[in-house]
Structure formats: structure tokens, C-alpha cells
Chains A and B, each alone.
Chain A
């Protein structure tokens, strides 16, 4: 093989290269423009070590009861918020689905969902705070409103991703509009929709913690109080309780979701939530 054939040259993909350049430029600009006392970053590791020591070596075990009851209040807020959110969003999500409701209803519904999703739960809570005052109950209402945005969207997307066959079949036997929904649509999507409700509960557990920081009570309130008074060993205990309770809820909820989607029990771990993952990577929110 002494004759070397003409080799193709490496093509330059300009659009791609420009996008990368733009991204790099934006990131560099952000670092250059942001006002940060970089010297405090140098102290960060030693500071972090010091505070971790204050919090966890050892945590104040005597506050465990207090931490647990505050955490349970947060979980209660999350649960109530999820239930109220489901009650409101469930009928609305059908009204936003193609093939169920006419355009004049569908589009406004979708707009409402989109606007709610754009506003962080904390901001909704700040609004509630200004309007009705912030109690655990209004915190739950804020979570409910936030849930309506995501659950509504997930719902109508699930309804629109169904097979047309079973729906046609119900139409063919003379089913009414709502019979089509009940027997053609719902059986197809119910496992997924129930799983998404649980997933939203997991999200609300985290969000309810946050709401406490601005005064809705629960774990967040206890935490911000302890941080302000610099009672670090109590903060450490709180964090431990939050992490354990959240992980337990995630595991239980994940196992139930797995059961709903795949029809059998398994500890939901990594790589076992594909059905939901597929949705999440495609649509997100």
C-alpha cells in the first residue's frame, strides 16, 4: 500500500463552534462581572471544616424530638399541599388536554399552568404572606398552588401521549365524551399520573422545608432560628433529621411509584425510574 489515498479533511462545524464560543464567553463574563470577595473563597475550606465540626461533632441529640416534630409539620404541609393541588389540578388537567376540551378552554388553562410554574413556590408564599399572613396552612396552600402548575401540565401531557386505539374503541361502542375519558383515556394513564402525584409530593417535601425559612413554620423556621442564634449543634441535628426523613420518604414514594409503573414491588434505586425519567428528560416540569 504505497499509494496513499486522498483522505478527507476534518470538517469544521461552524454553528456548533459558535455556540460553544458564545457559552464560554457568557461564563467568562459572569465570572468577571460578579461581585464576589474571592479572598473569602480561600478561607472557605477551613471555614467549612470548622462549621461542620460545630454542627456534627457532636450534634445536639437532645433536640431530636423537637427537630422531628418540626419535620413532621413540614411533611404534613407537603402532604396537604399535594392533596389540595391534586384536587384542583385533576379536573383542570383534562380541560387542558387536546381531544377533551375545545381550544378556547385549553389554551387559557395551559397559560395559567405555565405562569404558575414560572413562579417559585417561595414567591407564591411571599404573596400569601402579604395577603393572608403565613401559617402552616397558608404554606400548604402555597404548595397547592405551585403543584397545580406542574401537575396540570404533566396531566395533560400524559393524556395527549396515549394510544388512539382504546379511545376510538369507546367511541365506536357509542360512549359519551366523559365515558371516553373514563374508559378510553384514564386506564391508559392512571399508573403514570398516580406516580407523578407521588413525585410531586417528594418535591413538596423539599419545598415545605424552604417555606419555613420565610415563616410558614416547620423545620425551616426552627432551622433559621437556630442559625440566627448560632446554635450550631442543634442545626446539625436538624440537618440529620431532615436528610433522614427526606430520604425515607423518597424511598417509600419511589418504591410505590415503581410498583405503579411496573406492577411489582422493588426498592426504587438508581436506574429503576426510567418511565418517569423518560418524561422528565423530554419535557421537564
Chain B
């Protein structure tokens, strides 16, 4: 029996799949490189300018600080207001968008479709358009942030609702509750940690977004960035960027600490 040569299984032919994937990825990359116009040489040629600018950027002008305070505060206020309002609007929408809490198929599909459309537009695009609609300033920024936030909160919270333990809901329904009542009493407590965590995360995103949303005139530090970069005040620019960096890191520290506590 041992002398008998056993038939070895043929190696499954998976190679073409890998080859095809590599081909597609390479083609996409080459296509992008041509379209974008890759030119590392230009960076080298510009380097003499660049080194000069970099030196200026590395020396923030701290005397500019008092003039940034108001914009800094406005950035935070915008983020707070946008987070609070979008959190309030998103919660019922998330319940509408989840199959667990919304038995109506068409209502759920419409909600999801609208949310997906809203989510496909970046915050700064909203801001650029809203500045024309409601005028420059914090209001257009806040509305832009809210639109953007609703998209992410509803999506992620409804996914969290999809994965909660459905036992309590079944118990509530079997006691004669409506879907709304069962959602409020049996599903909400279970989805609450995910919801709060998501809102905190959105607040972090909002801080970062509201710092730059002013580039198109929607209030906050971005307005200042736009001003100083037009006049090549690199010492000022680096101070503003430093402020954003510190603000974001501080907010993220508190927020992520809170979220870690929630996850326990």
C-alpha cells in the first residue's frame, strides 16, 4: 500500500483572481497618476521657496494670539451647537432607519436612502453652498455641520440598533406594546451607549470640521486661516494650526476617555 503513488490534489487555480486584482489596482493607480499629473520634480524645483516658507512656519508668532481667541471660541461654540442639535434630530431617525425598530419596509428604505444621499456630500461643500443661501458667518457653518452629522450618526446608530439583543423588545411586544413604545423602553436603553459614544465622536469630528469650515466663509478659525494665507502671514498661519492641533488633541482626550468608560 505504501508503494502505491497517491494522487496529489491539483493546486486550485486561484492565481488569475490575484492577477486580475493586481491588474485592476495597477491600472487604477496609473490612470490616477496620469490624471492628477504626478510631478515630483516640481516639488524639488520649488524647494528653495519651500524651505524659506518652512522656516517661517516653524516660528509661530504668539503675539497674534489675542486676535485668534474670538475665532477659536466661535469654532468650539459652532461644534457644540451642531452636535447638540444633530444628536436630537438623529435619534428618532436612527430608529426609523433600523430594521429592528421599524417594521415598515418602505419607510425604512426611504429613510436610509435620504440619509445615504445626505452623507455623500462633504461638510465643506454644504458650507460653500449655504454661505450663499444664508450669508457668511456661524449660522451657515452650523447648518452644514448638522447636515453632515445627521448622516453619520443615523447610519452608525441604526447599525448599532440592528445588533442589539432583541429579547427585551420581544418581551415588550408580547405585553401588548406598540413598536414605538417597545423601541423607547426596550431598545433605547441598550442602544444608548453606542448613541452617546457616536455623539461624542461626532463632537470630535465637528471640532476639526468647524476649524476649517470657515475657509469658505462659514465662521470659526477657518475664516482666519483664509485671511492670513491670502496675505502670506506664515507666522500667523502656524500659530493658528498649532491652536487647532492643541484644541483637537484636548477635546479628543476627554472624548475618548469618556467613550472608553462607556465601552466598559
Contacts and interface: CB of A to CB of B under 8 A. Distances in A.
Question: Do the two chains touch directly in the complex (Cβ atoms below 8 Å apart)?
Answer: yes
Interface of A: 26-27, 30-31, 33-37, 40-41, 43-44, 47-48, 51, 72-73, 75-77, 79-80, 83, 114-115, 118-120, 122-123, 126-127, 129-133, 135-140, 206-207, 209-210, 213-214, 220, 223-224, 227, 230, 235, 239, 242-243, 246-247, 250, 269-271, 273-274, 277, 280-282, 284
B65 interface: no
A278 to B, nearest CB: 9
B229 interface: yes
Contact of A140 (B36, B125, B143): B36
A34 B77 contact: yes
Contacts of A131: 46, 49-50, 53-54
Contacts of B39: 135, 137
B36 A41 contact: no
B120 A247 contact: yes
B135 A76 contact: no
Contacts of B54: 131
A230 B252 contact: no
B212 A123 contact: yes
A110 B138 CA distance: 34
- Closest CB pairs A-B (n = 10): A271-B162, A76-B32, A246-B120, A76-B35, A30-B80, A80-B32, A118-B248, A210-B124, A79-B32, A136-B36
Given A47-B134, A273-B159, A76 B128 contact: no
B132 interface: yes
A242 to B, nearest CB: 7
Contacts of B73: 33
A213 B122 CA distance: 11
Interface stretch (B6-14, B172-180, B182-190, B194-202): B194-202
Nearest to A208: B122
A77 B77 contact: no
A33 B227 CA distance: 24
B159 to A, nearest CB: 5
B81 A34 contact: yes
A257 to B, nearest CB: 14
Contact of A281 (B77, B138, B198): B198
Contacts of B232: 130
B61 to A, nearest CB: 15
A34 B28 CA distance: 46
A187 to B, nearest CB: 15
B40 to A, nearest CB: 9
Contacts of A273: 159
Nearest to A210: B124
Interface of B: 28-29, 31-33, 35-39, 42-43, 46, 49-50, 53-54, 57, 73-74, 76-78, 80-81, 84, 97-99, 112, 116-117, 120-125, 128-129, 132-135, 137-139, 142-143, 155-156, 158-160, 162-163, 194, 197-198, 201, 204, 208-209, 211-212, 215-216, 225, 229, 232, 234, 237, 241, 244-245, 248-249, 252, 256, 259, 263
Contacts of A127: 57, 241
Contact of A210 (B125, B132, B225): B125
A50 B216 CA distance: 21
Nearest to A119: B245
Contact of B50 (A26, A33, A132, A274): A132
Contacts of B117: 243, 247
A250 to B, nearest CB: 7
A34 B197 CA distance: 26
B211 A72 contact: no
Nearest to A218: B36
B125 A73 contact: no
B77 A30 contact: yes
A14 B241 CA distance: 39
A277 B135 CA distance: 37
B53 A130 contact: yes
Given A130-B53, A140-B36, A239-B129, 9 more contacts: A120-B244, A126-B229, A210-B124, A213-B215, A243-B121, A271-B159, A271-B162, A274-B163, A281-B263
B229 A239 contact: no
A185 B15 CA distance: 23
Contacts of A119: 241, 244-245, 248
A118 B132 contact: no
